Structure 1
Amino acid sequence: MQSLFCQIVKNFCQYFLMKGNRLMPEWAKLYWTDVAQAVETSRIALLPLGAIEEHGPHMNLGSDWYAVESLTARLAEAANLLVLPALPYGQVWSLSRFPGSLSISDQTLVNIIVEIAAGLAQVGIKGLILMSGHLGNMSALKTAARRLLESYDLPTLFLFYPGLEKICKQVSETERSRATIIHADEIETSILLALAPECVDMSRAQREYPHYPEDFDYSPLYWDEVSVSGVFGDPTAANQEKGKIIVEYVLQQTLRIIQAWRERGGF
C-alpha cells in the first residue's frame, strides 16, 4: 500500500509542477474590478457541491461539503480553475428522516446551478465543472449540464470522485455493505480523514451492515428503515493513509478527464 501511495503522490506532484504551481483566486474573494482579468486567466469555473446529511455517529453533518471544498481547492490549483463558493445543500431524500439532514429537490438544485452559471457565462466563462461530494446530486447535475449546453452553449462537466470504485478495491480491507453504497464506511471515513479530519471522531465509529430488501435498488426507501446508526459498513477500519491514496488517485483521474474535455472543447 505504501508503494502505491508514493507513486500516486509522485505522479500528482509532477503534474502539479508542470502546471507551474499557479494559485488561482477564489471567486468570492475577487473584487468586481478584477473579475475580467481573472476570467481571462482561466475561462473555466469550478463549482463544488456538497450535502448536509447524517454520516453515522462519527462523521458530522457537513462531511460531504467540507470534503469537496478541500478536494476542489487542490484541483483548482493543479488545473488552473476559478473555484466558486461551494453549495452546501443537496438532494438527500433517502436520509432525510435522520435528524439534521437537510434536503432540497433535484429541481431546486438544477435551478440554482443554471442561474449561477448564467452569471458566469455573462462575464466570459467558457466552461463549468460541477464537482459533487455527494452521489445523490448527480441526477440533478446531469440535467443542469444539459440545460446549460442547450440554453447558454456552456460546456459542463459533472463529476463525483472519478476513479473511486477502482482505487477502493485496492485499499479497502472490509466488505462493502452494498456495491452501490459508500456511506459512513471504511472508504468514506478514510476520505474524510484525509480531506477534512476535523469532521471525524473515530472514538465514536461503529460498524453496521444493514439488511437490504430485495427491491432496494428498484423502489424509493428511506434509509432509516434499514440502518439504525446511519452507518453502511465498517468505518473502524478507516485511516488517513488510505484516504490519501484514494484522494490522490481521484485527483489524477479528475485531471485526466478535465484535460480530455478541454482538448475536445478547444478551451
Structure 2
Amino acid sequence: MTAGVGVAVGTPVVEARGIRKSFGHVEALRGADFEARAGEVTALIGDNGAGKSTLVKVLSGVHTADDGELLIDGKPVRPTSPQDIRAHGIETVYQDLALAGDLTPYENVFLGRERRKAGVLGRVGLVDRRTMREETAKVFSDLNVRIKDHKAHVSALSGGQQQSVAITRAAMWASHLVIMDEPTAALGVAQTKSVLALIRRVAESGIGVVLISHNMPDVLEVSDSIQVLRLGQRVAAFRRGEAQVPDLVQAMTSGTSMEETS
C-alpha cells in the first residue's frame, strides 16, 4: 500500500476550481469548487440534482470538465479517462463495487494488475498467486480488515465484507485519494459501523478520502470536513464539529447556513 507517500496530512491533494459541465442545455456544474486533503475524510453532500455525481465523475476521469481547473498536488491536470486519474494515484469505489463475484478477495484486489512470475514463466503470462495473496493479506492486516474465508468467492461474502474488499483494493493502489460513492448504502447497522471504521483507518494511513453519502449521521460521524453542493455549486463547507444535521439540511435545501437565516 502506497498510502500518502510524501504528502503531509492536511495538505490539499485534489482541488477543483470553477468546474463547469453541461449535458446539452442542462448545466450540471456551474463553477463548482471542491478540495480534499491528505489523511482526512471529506464528505461531499447535496440533494438529488445538486451535481455530486457529475463532480465525482470529473474527479474520477469519467467526464472531462467543460471549464475550470483540476489540480493534483497543486499541479493542473486535464485527465481524459479513468486510467489517467488512476495514474495519479486516485481510486474510486462505485456503488456497484465492480467486484468479480467468482474470484477470491486477493484476485479481486489484483484484478487487472496481476503480478507476473519472474523470468520466462512471467513472460508467457503465468501469474504469481503466492505473492498476490501475501501482499493482499498484508494490506488487510494493515487496515484491520477481517475476511472470514480468504479462499471463498467474493459472491459468498456478506455485503459489508464485499465493501471492505472493494475499499481495500482502492487503498492498495491509491497514493493520493480514494473516492467512495455511498459505501454504506443497503448495509445493516453492524456492517455500516465496520465500514465507517475502515474508512477512518484508510484516512489515518495518510490517504485522502472523499465520501459521497445521503446518510447525514454517517457523514457527521466519520468526516473531518463536509462540503455541500447545491444547483451545481459549492454553497457551504464545514469542519468537524461545526455542523449538525439541521445545518446540513439547511445548506442543501437553501444554500444558506442556520446562522445566516437566524
Same fold (TM over 0.5): no
Higher relative contact order (CA 8 A, sep 6+): 2
* TM-score, normalised by the number of residues in structure 1: 0.27
Structure having the larger proportion of residues in helix: 1
Structure having the larger proportion of residues in strand: 2
